[in-house]
Amino acid sequence: MKFSTPATTNPIDQMKVLGRPFDRIDGPAKTTGTAPYAYEQHEAAPNAAYGHVVGAGIAKGRITSIKLDEARRAPGVIAVISADNAGALGKGKFNTARLLAGPDIQHYHQAIALVVAETFEQARAAANLVKVTYAKEKGAYDLAKVKGSATEPKGENADTKVGDFERAYAGAPVRLDATYRTPDQSHAMMEPHASIASWEGEQLTVWTANQMIDWTRGDLARTLGIPKENVRLVSPYIGGGFGGKLFLRSEALLAALGARAAKRPVKVALSRPLMINNTTHRPATIQRIRIGATRDGKISAIGHESWSGDLAGGQPETAVMQTRLLYAGAHRMTKMRLAVLDLPEGNAMRAPGEAPGLMALEIAMDEMADKLKIDPVTFRILNDTKVDPEKPSRPFSQRRLIDCLRSGADKFGWKERSAEPGKKREGRWLIGMGVASAFRNNLVMKSGARIRLDGKGVVTVETDMTDIGTGSYTVIAQTAAEMMGVTIDKVVVRLGDSRFPVSAGSGGQWGANSSTAGVYAACMKMREAVAQKLGMDPAEAQFAGGAVSAGGKSVPLAQAAQGGELVAEDAMEYGDLDKKFQQSTFGAHFVEVAVDAVTGETRVRRMLAVCAAGRILNPKSARSQVIGAMTMGLGAALMEELVVDTRTGFFVNHDLAGYEVPVHADVPHQEVVFLDETDPMSSPMKAKGVGELGICGVAAAIANAVYNATGVRVRDYPLTLDKLLEKMPAMS
């Protein structure tokens, strides 16, 4: 099914089940510990052996010798895999060639061997007996030092220019030129990268923690050099991903190689240091922002340049993308530059591009408002735009940024904010408020589903969509219930299996909108099949209360399947919608902080997010997504940083003891408001994504609140107390 125009009669608009705050239907299984995660598929893969990954001890160079004999002789060892005996490995679409290294080493902890043994302890002990010698090479580990060698990416990441930025900026009566830095960050999800692999002849099954089933299935087949149809991936439950499980990673490939060598199932889970130094992370950025404005606050020139690094052949952190779309300004420029760094791969982490980009842009907007002596909310409203500033002929399908800012300011009590920084105190605590706009593009992906109807009136949905803790099971069940006119307890949802139709997968905040649109398409086909089976006109048939009605008669839905199960399958495609409309989501974040005037300790007291993100399919699960994203934004503002040892090229704080993330005691009162909105241009669901919008702008809102509290402007994240202390106002 192709979606190109709004449906005139859309059964999803009944809103009897959809749009209601249903509890997560996977909740009981997860809270009772009965949901089988990848590493726990004991019954599906009995008698599994254990694999332990050996990571490279250097960041750049070559293996000159690797001695495996002592490990092979260790108790319980079944097989030892290295590049020497793994066989030829192909290259997938997503950098799979580097998942097993040898002899060349590209980054620290790059996998160089897998030891398979009867028990985990035996595998780990034997892995310590692998003897490796290296020839080290000088690597590049410091973005600031290699910034000058960075190059312009191609394609959509190339430079953009509208008007004459340099001339307009030079001539602007009020100007800002500031540089901001964001650090490397880790996904730090609870569940590790974990997989179990099992071969039956030429058929490979991998139970894995992965967000994108079809991507990973294809890459695993290409890497192993086997037909894609010979590979099955199963991932029904995922304990968090945030982009870190989008792609095939070393543990899944090595589990497959280990199982082939051991001739039995093999399970592999990465330790936390290997997760951080062996997989992907959000790369650091250096960002320069220049804004020129008239004295009455209208932006005349805006330029955003960003530098980031990655392994050779990698991609930049797209931190300038929101600046191309968020604010008006006749003269514009964006540039990204990519340097080669010999650190672990930089790649997608929740809201890649916009999350770190807004960490800089939204401080810059506050700094500019301060220069202009204009309220920060008012300044943002003054510079709103209803069209794509780089392509004025392309309107936004929906754009309610002003509504988010105004309603948020009213609800948060913004008028109580002191316009002069450092003036509001409660004893030794300095109190401040901050604001930031939230922006994230609304991406849509082709997504398919299969619907089954049995003789009891039970509707079963099958799609390879994944649930990474986002509520996919529930919103898909709600969609099917709405479309087929049944209660949600009459719907069974089966996810995360490559035998099911290919879905959008979980990423880019496209998952809920796209996957439910695929379910919508399959349900439309099922409705037609049911009506025809019951001798009704499909155009007139109404599905409600577990029955189908048309032409004055009503028949139980189950009756259509009395002669045997009915099956329907379809997918939703989007044509050229993205060329006709700019589809984005918008929001506003408001934060209040208290900063200890003596120690510089910062405490976030309360947070408000106002979101305009199309139809909200389930307010309860959507709120959960947004408050989780707000919490990640708090971490990005105040504590999260992967510290690079620039001498040896690895992340020093590569565990959850050293890499700080917010805990319950750090998280204040959080409130989320969803504007009543539908976007018929987005999909038949009229929904958009929201899970990544919630992090966009949060860190900047906190930084702006800290400035309002203290008068200290920090442009280098995270805002640790050492960056505040020397400039704090004196206690009176």
pLDDT by 10-residue block (mean), the chain, 732 residues: 60 96 96 94 92 98 98 98 95 86 97 98 98 98 98 96 98 98 98 98 98 98 97 97 97 98 98 96 99 98 98 96 98 98 97 98 98 98 96 94 98 98 96 98 96 98 98 98 98 98 97 98 98 95 97 96 97 88 96 96 98 98 98 98 97 97 95 97 96 98 98 98 91 66
The rounded distance, in Å, linking the Cα atoms of 350 and 628 is: 11
Cα–Cα nearest to 513, from 476, 552, 477: 476
Q: Which amino acid is at 338?
A: L
SS3 per residue for 272-291: HHHHHHHCCEECCEEEEEEE
C-beta separation of 724 from 706 below 8 A: yes
Question: What is the chain's Cα-based Rg?
Answer: 27
The rounded distance, in Å, linking the Cα atoms of 616 and 262 is: 48
Q: What is the pLDDT of residue 579?
A: 82
- CATH code linked to domain 384-440+582-727: 3.30.365.10
> 216: which residues sit within 8 A by CB, 6+ positions away?
208, 210, 233, 247, 248, 252
The angle formed by the CA atoms of residues 563, 568 and 570, to the nearest 5 degrees, is 175
The rounded distance, in Å, linking the Cα atoms of 480 and 464 is: 16
What is the SS3 assignment for 555? Answer: strand
Superfamily of domain 38-348: Aldehyde oxidase/xanthine dehydrogenase, a/b hammerhead (3.90.1170.50)
Identify the burial level of 531 via C-beta atoms within 10 angstroms of its C-beta, where 0-12 means exposed, 13-18 middle and 19 or more buried: buried
Q: What is the pLDDT of residue 729?
A: 84
Give, for 647, the enclosing helix (H) or strand (E): none
> 13: which residues sit within 8 A by CB, 6+ positions away?
686
Q: What is the pLDDT of residue 142?
A: 98
Q: Which residues are catalytic?
A: 692
Structure tokens at 519: 């379910």
Cis upstream peptide for 36 (omega within 30°): no
The angle formed by the CA atoms of residues 518, 524 and 527, to the nearest 5 degrees, is 140
Q: What is the DSSP letter of 64?
A: E
Q: What is the pLDDT of residue 5?
A: 43
Question: Where are the CATH 3.90.1170.50 domain residues in the chain?
Answer: 38-348
Question: Where are the CATH 3.30.365.10 domain residues in the chain?
Answer: 11-35+445-573, 384-440+582-727
Q: Report phi then psi at 115, rounded to 5.
A: -105, 125
Structure tokens at 339: 């340097």
Q: What is the pLDDT of residue 220?
A: 97
The rounded distance, in Å, linking the Cα atoms of 475 and 506 is: 13
Structure tokens at 123: 């595998």
> Which CATH architecture group holds 11-35+445-573?
2-Layer Sandwich (3.30)
The rounded distance, in Å, linking the Cα atoms of 200 and 398 is: 51
The rounded distance, in Å, linking the Cα atoms of 115 and 123 is: 6
Q: Which amino acid is at 415?
A: K
Q: What is the pLDDT of residue 96?
A: 82
